[in-house]
């Protein structure tokens, strides 16, 4: 994707800079990018065209680039039809088949990305974690994974954007979850909230020695019917691809980052209410950034799950009973006795 603009255009394709922006502003950023498409085999991770994109992905700042198209770029009608299905990626602007593409000969390369790119013996998951630990933004890691820059030489592939986003969030959060297993448990139920772009988030951290994570999404359709999406994992991890797709992994990353930062472990329940003002999908970046922002705020602490859940549901239009009806983590906490609880009673 290239913008028909000069100067620093970083914000147009960097979701980490979009928090606090309106839907209109974000859509305008994306509509400013013209998307060139070309049919390429997923195993073709080399060649002049792909290598130009890879060099561009490694740059540390905006660079001059030039693209010519087979036809005048127009709005991608098929994408518009699919907007309700593919919510992982941010919107795109006009699209056309690419004829030629070239970048400036003077590129300032990010050494962190270059090192991982040229390490052909480093597995993709290890490369993702290394880049994250080195301070590279999630959006940039997704990009280099998508254009076949990570992994063992023989295993490198081009990856669809939505898959690269989910994979990046999944790999990083799984790595952090392993780290937090050794930390002490939080002492109280903690509730954090944040609202943006018509999305209302409540995050409940649950004092538990064993990892558990659940995310619920709920909304009312145009006919007033309640729609709900929910996925849950215990310490054994997720045993299926989440029904709420990339939203699950994006939210899990936000929680795992927070627990790693505060050096504590907990289980977590996330409630996401989607209001009508969220007029079009903007991508799972807004979930990742929304959860990060919520957990950067001040926690409200409670002695029990009931009170924590009651507070979490304040300002949500969907009732507490509806959220409870679908939750697994709440029922597990209320109904199941841990082995450690049994032993404690015997002491």
Residues 33-77 pLDDT 10s: 887 777 888 888 878 888 888 988 998 877 777 778 888 887 654
pTM of structure:
0.89
pLDDT of residue 87: 58
Residues near 150 by beta carbon (within 8 Å), at least 6 away in sequence: 116, 117, 122, 124, 127, 128, 144, 156
Q: Using 50, 70 and 90 to split pLDDT, how confident is the model at 2? A: low
Higher pLDDT pick, 203 / 93: 203
Task: State the pLDDT confidence band at 105, using cuts at 50, 70 and 90.
Answer: low
pLDDT at position 3 is 54
Residue 228's SS3 state is: strand
Residue percentage of the chain with pLDDT more than 70: 89
- Longest C-alpha distance within the chain, in Å? 77
Q: Provide the pLDDT for residue 83.
A: 35
pLDDT at 346 over 60: no
Mean pLDDT of the chain: 88
Find all residues with CB under 8 Å of 28, minimum gap 6, and list them: none
190-202: average pLDDT: 98
Per-residue pLDDT, 79? 45
Cα(122)–Cα(111) distance, rounded to whole angstroms? Answer: 16
Closest to 83 in 3D by CA, of 276, 309, 280: 280
Question: Rounded mean pLDDT of 194-217?
Answer: 97
Residue 335: partners with Cβ closer than 8 Å, 6 or more residues away: none
Distance CA 113, CA 169 (A): 18
Is 232 within 8 Å of 219 (Cβ atoms)?
A: no
Are residues 25 and 19 in contact, defined by beta-carbon separation less than 8 angstroms? no
Could you tell me which of 79, 30, 8 has the C-alpha nearest to residue 282? 30
**What is the predicted pLDDT for the residue at 219?**
95
- Cα 230 vs. chain centroid, distance in angstroms? 16
Residue 193 above 60 pLDDT? yes
- More confident site: 278 or 32: 278
Helices marked H in the chain: 23-31, 48-57, 77-82, 111-118, 124-133, 138-146, 161-180, 246-262, 285-296, 305-312, 320-326, 329-335, 339-346
Mean pLDDT along residues 189-201: 98
Read off the pLDDT of each residue in 201-213 and give the average, rounded to a whole number.
97
Asked if 215 and 38 touch (Cβ cutoff 8 Å), the reply is: no
Residue with tokens 């929304």: 290
């Amino acid at each position: 994707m290239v913008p028909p603009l000069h100067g620093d255009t970083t914000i147009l394709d960097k979701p980490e800079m979009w928090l606090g922006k309106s839907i209109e502003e974000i859509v305008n950023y994306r509509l400013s990018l013209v998307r060139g498409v070309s049919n390429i085999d997923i195993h073709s991770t080399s060649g002049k065209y792909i290598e130009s994109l890879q060099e561009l992905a490694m740059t540390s700042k905006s660079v001059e680039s030039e693209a010519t198209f087979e036809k005048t770029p127009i709005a991608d009608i098929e994408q518009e039809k699919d907007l309700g299905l593919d919510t992982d990626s941010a919107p795109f602007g006009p699209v056309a088949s690419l004829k030629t593409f070239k970048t400036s000969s003077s590129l300032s390369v990010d050494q962190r990305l270059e090192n991982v790119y040229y390490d052909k013996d480093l597995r993709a998951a290890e490369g993702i974690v290394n880049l994250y630990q080195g301070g590279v933004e999630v959006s940039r890691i997704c990009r280099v994974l998508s254009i076949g820059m990570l992994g063992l030489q023989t295993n490198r592939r081009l990856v669809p954007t939505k898959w690269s986003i989910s994979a990046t969030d999944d790999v990083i959060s799984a790595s952090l979850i392993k780290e937090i297993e050794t930390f002490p448990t939080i002492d109280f139920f903690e509730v954090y909230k944040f609202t943006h772009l018509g999305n209302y988030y409540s995050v409940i951290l649950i004092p538990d020695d064993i990892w558990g994570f659940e995310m619920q999404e709920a909304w009312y359709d145009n006919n007033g019917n309640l729609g709900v999406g929910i996925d849950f994992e215990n310490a054994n991890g997720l045993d299926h691809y989440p029904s709420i797709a990339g939203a699950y992994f994006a939210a899990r990353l936000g929680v795992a980052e927070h627990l790693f930062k505060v050096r504590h472990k907990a289980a977590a329940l996330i409630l996401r209410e989607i209001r009508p003002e969220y007029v079009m999908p903007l991508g799972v970046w807004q979930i990742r950034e929304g959860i990060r922002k919520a957990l950067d705020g001040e926690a409200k602490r409670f002695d029990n799950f009931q009170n924590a859940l009651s507070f979490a549901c304040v300002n949500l239009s969907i009732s507490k009973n509806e959220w409870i009806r679908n939750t697994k983590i709440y029922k597990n906490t209320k109904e199941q006795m841990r082995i450690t609880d049994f032993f404690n009673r015997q002491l």
